[in-house]
Amino acid sequence: MSGEGIGFGKAILFNEHFVVYGIPAIVSAIAKYTRAKVEPKEKAGWTIVDNRKATPRYKEDKIDQQKDSINRMVKKMGLDLSKNGVEITLEGNLYVASGIGASAASCVAITRALSKHFQLDYSNDEINEIAYEGEKGYHGTPSGIDNTASTFGGLIWFEKGEENIMDKINLQNPVEIVIGNTGKVANTTAAVAGVKERREKYPQKYAEIFDRAENIAYLARDALQDEDYKELGKLMNENHKLLQQIEVSSRELDFLVKLARDQGAYGAKLTGGGLGGNMIALTPNKDIQERVANAFEKEGFQSLRTSIGVTRGSE
């Protein structure tokens, strides 16, 4: 038996970092995915062939984390690889970089492929739970937002709690975005740890920022439901300001955010862990999308033209 499965990439539209502390966040899967294939092999254990296209250094930097992640998932699934092992191959059209949910997409894809290979018939909820365990290999204490978007697809309101809240937000029409890649591999664990340290040091300042972030999430959900993209863009700009205040932006991210706004994006902000990685620009028609993406490319940055609100949960 062999098995295959995919996991979507994602972009956080609102409240990365704040989500770790239970503040609501909004995330969208994007129509790019990592695919995993699992083949039996005679030797014990697992091996991996990683054919994903990636930002230089990304795969090398994360190799130990990837190993820890796969071991965690194999353990959680209770697989016995002591006699016959598996070879896992990763591929797909998601260009692997920081901030785009690459680790979660690979965890979901691997879990789905192993589930097929071993005929475990996992539900999406089970896939999500195992992928969350795999995410711990990369992040330590992930909020769970990435694996949720990667498993279920679509646009999701997410709140971390004893029981996570995951509500679908349905859009009438998909909306164009551009994702700009700084080309810098970022360390999400370090970014999350930095926020924790500063929050403890400046409780009053951080409490105010976190309150506003919470407010923004509710306003953004209304704007999405009303398809009010001017308002949504303004809220993204404000969200970026809060992320700057908690010191997770970077020179390159701020540069791309400004460039996107100058080229007509309705709003722009960093997306994901920050300190490098990716940013997202709201460009709700093809012309603006093209203009922003071309401007990024002219400056030597990679851009991804995609949409939010399209992908659905899928195997």
Enzyme catalytic residues:
146
What contacts 263, CB < 8 A, 6 or more positions away?
A: 288, 291, 292, 295
> CB of residue 78 vs ligand PMV: minimum separation in angstroms?
25
Of 155 and 288, which CB lies nearer to ligand PMV in the complex structure?
155
Of 40 and 56, which CB lies nearer to ligand PMV in the complex structure?
56
Concatenate the DSSP letters of all residues of 242-255 into one string: HHHHTT---HHHHH
The residue behind tokens 């083949």 is: 39
Point out which residues bind ligand PMV (CB under 6 A): 16-17, 19-20, 98-99, 101, 139, 142-143, 145-146, 188, 192, 272-273, 277
Of 34 and 98, which CB lies nearer to ligand PMV in the complex structure?
98
> CB of residue 212 vs ligand PMV: minimum separation in angstroms?
17
Residue 230's φ and ψ, nearest 5 degrees, are -65, -45
Of 13 and 19, which CB lies nearer to ligand PMV in the complex structure?
19
Of 158 and 301, which CB lies nearer to ligand PMV in the complex structure?
158
**Cα–Cα distance, 23 to 164 (Å, whole number):** 11
Tokens describing residue 225: 């439901």
Of 147 and 263, which CB lies nearer to ligand PMV in the complex structure?
147
CB atoms within 10 A of CB 286: 10
**Cα–Cα distance, 94 to 106 (Å, whole number):** 10
> CB of residue 17 vs ligand PMV: minimum separation in angstroms?
5
Closest CA to 7 of 25, 26, 30: 30
Residue 266's φ and ψ, nearest 5 degrees, are -70, -25
Tokens describing residue 267: 């709003």
What contacts 117, CB < 8 A, 6 or more positions away?
A: 1, 2, 3, 38, 40, 86
> CB of residue 287 vs ligand PMV: minimum separation in angstroms?
28
How many residues are given for the chain? 315
> CB of residue 104 vs ligand PMV: minimum separation in angstroms?
7
Strand order in the sheet with 302-308: 267-271, 278-282, 175-181, 302-308
> CB of residue 3 vs ligand PMV: minimum separation in angstroms?
25
Q: Which amino acid is residue 106, in one-letter code? A: S
